[in-house]
Amino acid sequence: MEPENSTQISEFLLLGLSEDPALQPLIYGLFLSMYLITVLGNLLIVLATISDPHLHTPMYFFLANLSFVDVCFTSSSIPKMLLNIQTQSKAISYAGCIAQMFFLLLFAGLDDFLLAVMAYDRFVAICHPLHYTVIMSPRLCVLMVLGSGIISTLHSLLQSLMVLRLSFCTNLAIPHFFCELNHVVHRACSDTLLNDVVIYLAAVLLAMGPLAGILYSYSKIVSSVRAMSSARGKYKAFSTCVSHLSVVSLFYCTCIGVYLSSAATHNSHSTATASVMYMVVTPMLNPFIYSLRNKDLKSTLRRLLGKELLRVPVGFRFKLCT
């Protein structure tokens, strides 16, 4: 039963990473730099994949989708954080908070599913190379991405509707730089038991499910690689998985670390700081991890950047060089 003295709120307050005014310019500059690098790096991956016919394969199709999702993921929270620092405001509207929470859950879920889909792609490429083109058909690739999007959308919609049923009273300060689901739910003055049950069930099903798929795929990959007689073949098979394994490890280790630390301690600001790893740092590093170990992608990016540089007026290029 909802409390009688609850009112329809108009806004929440995002306390951010620090309330020290002296640190705000440093935080603003750091996050603006990381955000620009994230957007530029991931959009270059998308552009390179679209522009080069040699990269029109399932692996790069999934990589381009992952890069686009990473741009959307960071864009769901960082611009609002930067705006609040610039305007010296901590407010986010009630509707804006729900919308931000919806998109963050949507793109986080898509990230999770795409990493699992990419692991399956590597499993088919290494364990069933002769049937790879038949199994990983364009239709199946599109269906897997669409299926991931539909499941993630339904999950984020469910969580958002569950929050809309709650009543909020006076404790509207969120010790985070974005509207994190748990923090928002626990600011309610009505019963949140059903919300907590849905949150934990969804976390188990939607996080552990893809992780189990990734672990199963790589267990099969390791078995196939060990059975190879050629050292060159083993190295080639392993090298195609290193980038993906690095991104998976970075994503899951940071996510698990954040939520284990939040369960072990009640320091919300420490949790917010740790969240920066999977919210900003991981999407920023993904383009570097994939491009540095991928010859095809590196050569395409060089050609792409070279063409863009040639379009710059000669006088401006001279100034850049000097």
Q: Render 92-139 in DSSP notation, one character per residue.
A: EEHHHHHHHHHHHHHHHHHHHHHHHHHHHHHHHHHHSGGGHHHHT-HH
Query: What pLDDT, on the 0 to 100 scale, is given for residue 267?
Result: 55
HSE toward the beta carbon, residue 248, CA cutoff 13 A: 23
Query: What pLDDT, on the 0 to 100 scale, is given for residue 101?
Result: 94
Of 184, 194, 195, nearest to 11 by C-alpha is: 184
**CA geometry: angle 293, 273, 249, nearest 5 deg:** 30
**CA geometry: angle 275, 278, 280, nearest 5 deg:** 90
In a domain, 3, yes or no: no
Query: What pLDDT, on the 0 to 100 scale, is given for residue 104?
Result: 94
Query: What number of H helices and E strands is found in the chain?
Result: 13, 3
pLDDT greater than 90 at residue 38: yes
Of 237, 108, 122, nearest to 180 by C-alpha is: 108
Query: What pLDDT, on the 0 to 100 scale, is given for residue 261?
Result: 59
**19: which residues sit within 8 A by CB, 6+ positions away?**
none
Mean pLDDT for 283-298 is: 78
In a domain, 1, yes or no: no
In a domain, 2, yes or no: no
In the sheet with 11-14, reading across from the earlier edge strand, the strands are 91-93, 11-14, 173-174
**Averaged confidence pLDDT in the chain:** 83
Q: What would the pLDDT profile of 40-94 be if each residue is shown by its tens digit?
A: 999 999 998 888 888 888 988 999 999 999 999 999 999 999 999 999 888 999 9
Query: What pLDDT, on the 0 to 100 scale, is given for residue 319?
Result: 45
End-to-end CA distance of the chain: 70
Token couple for 179: 């509207």
In a domain, 320, yes or no: no
pLDDT greater than 70 at residue 306: no
HSE toward the beta carbon, residue 98, CA cutoff 13 A: 15
Percentage of the residues of the chain whose pLDDT score is greater than 90: 39
- Domain range for 85: 11-314
In a domain, 82, yes or no: yes
For the chain, state the CA radius of gyration: 22
pLDDT greater than 80 at residue 313: no
Looking at the structure of the chain, the number of domains it has is: 1
pLDDT greater than 90 at residue 253: no
In a domain, 6, yes or no: no
Mean pLDDT for 266-293 is: 76
Mean pLDDT for 221-249 is: 80
**Other CB atoms within 10 Å distance of the CB of residue 93:** 13
pLDDT greater than 50 at residue 320: no
Q: What would the pLDDT profile of 133-187 be if each residue is shown by its tens digit?
A: 999 999 999 999 999 999 999 999 999 999 998 988 877 888 888 998 988 998 8
Q: Among the ranges 154-158, 241-245, 250-254, which has the highest mean pLDDT value?
A: 154-158
In a domain, 5, yes or no: no
For residue 254, give the CATH number of its domain.
1.20.1070.10
In a domain, 72, yes or no: yes
